[in-house]
A and B are shown apart, each in its own frame.
Chain A
Amino acid sequence: MSTPAIRMEDVHKYFGDNKVLTGIDLEVAEGKVVCVIGPSGSGKSTLLRCVNLLEQPTSGRIFVEGDEITDPDADVDGLRSRIGMVFQQFNLFPHLDVMGNLTLAQRKVKGRSTEEARTIARKNLEKVGLAERETSYPAHLSGGQQQRIAIARALSMDPDMMLFDEPTSALDPELVGDVLAVMKDLATEGMTMMVVTHEMGFAREVGDDLVFMDGGVVVERGDPRQVLGDPQHERTQSFLSKVL
């Protein structure tokens, strides 16, 4: 068996007395799409943010392609540039135009020349269907367009895997489809993905694995069709009965 893209070993995360993650063991195999569902406040975002160390776990170990990111001596910046992340609120850089958003980290982190960075940026803009918005500023784009730009920005770093934290939750319903379509294309191309979402249709159709979290632990994990169609745990059943 090859090295998993992400491996979490007994990860705990406390915010003061608030025990947000209590013993997470989780693996994401290369090329797989793992969707994470669960009630609000169950620790889904925190889990995702631990993977690229935006949150420092209180204890436990996390490996990215076999390299331990929680090691105090780890090259965290280097590991992060292999992990793309997409946020609920897009977090595009408002002072830069679309091209600036896509090329900044390429130049400053990867040391690419402006020309090279622009070529790669254009390729990714095309991929998300926004080739004509190069010179637009984020404020002039719809939420759906901003989120697709954010995906293109992450892809421009040539990541080995992508983390999505409720990428469509801040969008008007009619814009959700465009973003999900881009994510589905990515999955088809074999990108390793960890997706926190409330889009059960996406989880069922695109996900290889479904993780249900509640109260800081993984309650149930399995094939999406199986977990959604025939949940084994009572907490999963009660959550799904509310959202489906």
Chain B
Amino acid sequence: MATSPRKRAQRNRLIQYAVLAIVVLAFAVTADWAKLGETFFNLEIAAGMFPDVLVVALKNTVIYTACAFAFGLVLGLVLALMRLSPVAPYRWIATGIIEFFRGVPALVVFIAFQYGLPVAFPGRQIPGGTLGVVTIALGLVGAAYMAETIRAGIQAVPKGQAEAARSLGMSSSRAMISVVIPQAFRIVLPPLTNELILLTKDSSLVYVLGLSLATYELTSFGRQGLNTENNLTPLVVVALCYLLITVPLSILVRQMERRAERAR
């Protein structure tokens, strides 16, 4: 009663700063900095990882993710259109695929592709080796998420758009391709980019396929470094490489969202 709201807000802020300071201080005093620096930030070990961490590991992560995302985007669009189809069996099939791959851990999907497919189709292989398997397995997982996002985007386009297109004589598929889908993608660009970030991290699951030196991506490259060096520095380097990809994407998403906010 005695203190004004402004004074109270000021005091609350002060308490928050104090808590933060205490936590940081406690951490700084109790941690063994010398040991920490040696195990996590060994410059010599870090330097030894270059250039392979970039030209092999980072490159492979980008390639795996990009291929899986591209495949997932196309499949996601197809699944979204199937979900919206007037033909009931299409809707059922799409719903089944989406629910399955959204509900099952990506790791399980990878293991199933690695060990299940050779059993199901003996003598046959997914073309493209490791890249082929990653593209399809990770792409399926991404497609399940993206399908629902794209469907929501398509439904968010005002009905009058398709009606205007149809009134000009366009067929329903032409109206979908030329009028509705371009607008839907504009709406779902931020969530799709978020999905790209998730896929970047999930591409690390490729390790279950059993990799060779040439197919190492960031995480498996880091683990290998971990084993040979007996030091955690490789993990830190690898983590920074992931951030090199994901932070710009996050910034991009935020910018797109802000622009969409302003356009409204």
Contacts and interface: CB of A to CB of B under 8 A. Distances in A.
A83, A93, A105, A154: residue with the most chain B Cβ atoms closer than 10 Å? A105
Contacts of A139: 263
B81 interface: no
Interface string B143-178: 000000000000000101101111111110010001
Contacts of A109: 168-170, 174
Interface in B162-211: 163-171, 174, 178-179, 182-183, 186
Interface residues of A, number: 26
Interface string A85-97: 1010101111100
A28 interface: no
B170 A77 contact: yes
A81 interface: yes
B182 A95 contact: yes
Contacts of B166: 54, 77, 80
Interface size class of B (residues with CB under 8 A): 10 to 19
A80 B166 CA distance: 8
Interface string A141-163: 00000000010011001000000
A154 B168 contact: yes
B178 A108 contact: yes
Interface string A1-39: 000000000000000000000000000000000000000
A94 B183 contact: yes
A81 B163 contact: no
Interface of B: 158, 160-161, 163-171, 174, 178-179, 182-183, 186, 263
Interface of A: 52, 54, 77-78, 80-81, 83-85, 87, 89, 91-95, 104-105, 108-110, 139, 150, 153-154, 157
